[in-house]
Amino acid sequence: MLNALTEQSPDKILMLMQAFREDPRPVKIDLGVGVYKNAHGQTPIMRAVKKAEKQWWEEETTKSYVNLAGDPEFSDLMIELVLGTSVARGNVAAIATPGGTGALRQAFELVQMANPEAKVFVSDPTWPNHLSILRHLGIEAVPYRYFDSATGGVNFDGMMEDLGKVSKGDIVLLHGCCHNPTGANLNLTEWQAVVDLLNQTGAVPMVDIAYQGFGDGLEADAKATRLVASSCPETLIAASCSKNFGIYRERTGIMMAVTQDSSLRSVVQGNLTHLNRQNYSFPPDHGARLVTHVLRDADLRADWLAELEDIRTGMLALRQQLADELQRLSGSNRFGFIAQHRGMFSRLGLTSAQVEKIRADHAIYMVGDSRINIAGLNDESVPLLASAMIKVGA
């Protein structure tokens, strides 16, 4: 049996990580991996999370299972964090998941159960694992135009034209904030137009919100998701705690299904719980417990918010520094869009040949489409990247 298996295509980002590790040059810059890093190149444990972990270590009395859907308090607090008061709690079914990826997988499987013929419309470009999971499940992915490489912004007219082809029951996958991999985001007026189109066509929105708090602020980053969830008959949401709580290895996420018809919540919740049972039975609890401690304790929450804001503004400062340095070296503001992007990522608009030359000549590693992780920079490496970009003809 096993001899019938074929090799899987290697993950390009993981290959990039390996090449970076093996590069012997003393000065090298990793802008490929999508993990937050501070100025020292570390992914620190947030202060509030560290305190919560110590508290839980003292309080925990059992390692028994919690609940197939996860701890109810975790769900309540995360729903409040993402949706605020935009939707009544009784209209939301939810399950804890292993990270945002687990939430996406469960959401796609729920779609497959509810409508096996559904197509999923996905931004071009998008996070590669979106497409990988869809392929694995045998769900058709349809690209819609999103990024305008000439301006570094959103090709909104192209996006709306392509989304005009959706059918009732299809899924439109949207990035709630901090678009990965481009960093370019819709404004609220554009979001409203997307909502109107979805309601006209009967397509169902699925929002992937993995970077809440990394863009314009915790509340501002949730506005689009709240608009969608409060305006559409049904909304699926996959949320991750990896980035804004810094608990990548704890694999903590949540999948929410919002329905304006509260009578459907019970059957939806039952199906979500069933999916958890089939895939991994009980979801991991440790990361969810830490998030719960932070969100329900006023002092821990305040400290978490303060550190999260420092992370956000630090990345904005790096964006502005890079845009300013590129303007100084080039005499042009053609890279001004970098300062306008939000979140950890920006797509620089370099060719694959330029990306490769920057790696070969300057030991600066980025994904082949020129997506960079802004958090991989610091005050000293920003000038090195800007200089390398100009030298390769950017």
Q: What tens digit of pLDDT does each residue of 276-334 get?
A: 999 999 999 999 999 999 999 999 999 999 999 999 999 999 999 999 999 999 999 99
Neighbours of 351 (CB within 10 A): 14
Report the residue count for the chain. 394
Determine which one of 37, 48, 107, 127 is catalytic: 127
In whole angstroms, give the CA distance from residue 362 to residue 360.
6
Q: How confident is the model at residue 69, as a pLDDT?
A: 98
Tens digit of pLDDT for each residue in 86-112? 999 999 999 999 999 999 999 999 999
Return the bridge partners of 258, or none.
92, 235
For residue 328, give every residue at least 6 positions away whose Cβ sits within 8 Å of its Cβ, in sequence order, or none: none
Query: Cα 22–27–31 angle (5° rounding)?
Result: 70
- Would you call 210 a catalytic residue per the annotation? yes
- Would you call 297 a catalytic residue per the annotation? no
**Residue with the two structure tokens 């197509």:** 119
* Domain 10-44+312-391 class in CATH: alpha beta
Determine which one of 243, 369, 375, 388 is catalytic: 243
In whole angstroms, give the CA distance from residue 245 to residue 37.
13
Q: So where are the chain's domains?
A: 10-44+312-391, 65-296
Tens digit of pLDDT for each residue in 158-198? 999 999 999 999 999 999 999 999 999 999 999 999 999 99
Q: Hey, what are 279's tokens?
A: 């895939």
Of the pLDDT bands very low, low, confident and very high (cuts 50, 70, 90), residue 33 is: confident
Determine which one of 210, 224, 239, 257 is catalytic: 210
Mean pLDDT throughout 256-274? 97
Of the pLDDT bands very low, low, confident and very high (cuts 50, 70, 90), residue 394 is: confident
Residues 385-389: contacts with CB within 8 Å, 24+ apart? 385/29, 385/31, 385/322, 386/322, 386/325, 386/326, 386/329, 387/329, 388/358, 388/361, 388/362, 388/364, 389/326, 389/348, 389/350, 389/354, 389/358
Determine which one of 170, 208, 221, 285 is catalytic: 208
Report, at the CATH architecture level, how domain 65-296 is classified. Answer: 3-Layer(aba) Sandwich (3.40)
- Would you call 243 a catalytic residue per the annotation? yes
H/E element, 371: strand 371-373
In the chain, the amino acid numbered 388 is A
List helix spans (H) across 182-264: 188-201, 218-231
Q: Hey, what are 310's tokens?
A: 């420092």
- Would you call 285 a catalytic residue per the annotation? no
Q: How confident is the model at residue 129, as a pLDDT?
A: 94
